[in-house]
Amino acid sequence: MNDEIADAGSGIARRSVAAVLVSAPALVIVWSLLAWMPALPAELPTQWAGDEVVSRLPTFVFAGSAVAISGGAALFAWHAAMSPRNGEYHRRGFLISGSVAGATAAAWLISVIVARHPGQEIGGAGLVAVAALFYGLFPFACAPANVTTGERGNPDELDITQTEILAWSQTQVVPIFVWASVACVLVAIAFGYLPWFLAGPEGSNLSFAIVASLLVVMFSAFARVRVTVDLRGLRALSGTIGIRLLSVGLEDVTSVRTITLEPLRWGGWGYRIGARGRALVLRGGPAIVVTLRGGGEIAVTTPDAEQALSVFRALLRRRDS
């Protein structure tokens, strides 16, 4: 009972820290308003062609919009922090609201700083705006997942004959990579393709568009993944662009088990290589881990890891019989 109370208290504390991180951009915007408002011009720059300002917005409109959007994101985050729903709901809420608040604060600060220093070039401010889209990853990482680490229980064993065909497959959509792909698409359109269409090559930043487009391809590869266990072994295939992300032959496996995996303990999301071994980390939670003949391990997260384990062990028993 005491452990449960301690875990609950730790979860609330971590969600509160995540909500504070989401609220930070709104506080920065309010602070800048109080400190700089008397010195700001009537209009703020909102779009540039190179180092030349091509559009402006009334300062009070921009300020009101920035406060409303970032404040709304903060309220959403605190609602998620106090909600009794599961951990994945909290984390998605922090990811979305943090990204919205971060991007809003970056847009506001870039415009304000340029307005206060008229001779200053826009320079690499666009990179700051791109990076701000990923600010939500910080509160997302702070919030606890609805999982605990360690070994999971053993599922029921399956018995198959030499002639039976047995396979397991599951397709999962990965929110963190979906949102990252969407954010990069918006960056590519806003900084590259749309200005090119409206003002020609001189009004766009194609370097942002190209980099963001490449990131879209990379992130979308992990946005929808199909994991399969069959006679060929363990495979993971991108459901969006069709490339194979991971493949382990059945003949190379000595044992298999399930664990509850936390992404941060494996170095983050995506394809990871580290001291623990290799892993395809798509979310926190159940994962199937195979031990190879050479002693290495490979982990793949999937919500139905116990069923995959049952199928895998049945195939190994038949192989060794």
pLDDT band at 10, cuts 50/70/90? Answer: low
Q: What is the DSSP letter of 130?
A: H
Q: How far apart are CA 88 and CA 145, in angstroms?
A: 6
pLDDT of 198 above 60: yes
Q: What is the separation, in whole angstroms, between the first and last Cα of the chain? A: 46
In a 10 Å sphere around its CB, with 0-12 CB exposed, 13-18 middle and 19+ buried, how is residue 133 labelled? Answer: buried
Q: What angle do CA 223, 225, 231 make, to 5 degrees?
A: 170
* Amino acid present at 187: V
Percent of the chain's residues with pLDDT above 70 = 79
Name the one residue in this structure whose structure tokens are 């409109």: 61
Which tens digits make up the pLDDT trace of 56-80? Answer: 778 888 888 889 889 988 998 888 7
Please provide the DSSP assignment of 279-290 as one string: EEE-SSEEEEEE
Q: How far apart are CA 141 and CA 267, in angstroms?
A: 11
- The CA–CA distances, whole Å, from 125 to 48, 107, 120, 145, 177 equal 11, 9, 11, 34, 24
pLDDT score of 120 = 62
Phi-psi category of residue 47: left, alpha or beta, with phi > 0 → left and psi -120 to 50 → alpha: beta
pLDDT band at 203, cuts 50/70/90? Answer: low
pTM over 0.75: no
pLDDT band at 31, cuts 50/70/90? Answer: very high
pLDDT score of 150 = 53
pLDDT score of 158 = 63
Phi and psi (nearest 5°) for 315?
-65, -35
> What average pLDDT does range 273-302 have in this prediction?
89
> What average pLDDT does range 6-17 have in this prediction?
70
Phi-psi category of residue 302: left, alpha or beta, with phi > 0 → left and psi -120 to 50 → alpha: beta
Distance of CA 271 to the CA centre of its chain: 13
pLDDT of 114 above 70: yes
Q: Within 13 A of 10's CA, how many CA atoms are on the CB side?
A: 10
Q: What angle do CA 250, 253, 256 make, to 5 degrees?
A: 110
- Say which residues have a Cβ less than 8 Å from residue 112's Cβ, sequence separation at least 6: 32, 36, 40, 44
Let me know how long the chain is. 321
Which tens digits make up the pLDDT trace of 242-263? Answer: 899 999 999 999 999 999 888 8
Query: pLDDT: is 265 or 147 the higher one?
Result: 265
* Amino acid present at 270: G
pLDDT band at 4, cuts 50/70/90? Answer: very low
- The CA–CA distances, whole Å, from 91 to 44, 101, 145, 321 equal 34, 15, 7, 45
pLDDT of 160 above 80: no
Q: Which tokens in the block code for residue 12?
A: 């609330």
Q: Is the dihedral of CA 178, 182, 188, 189 positive or negative?
A: positive
Q: Across all residues in the chain, what is the average pLDDT?
A: 81
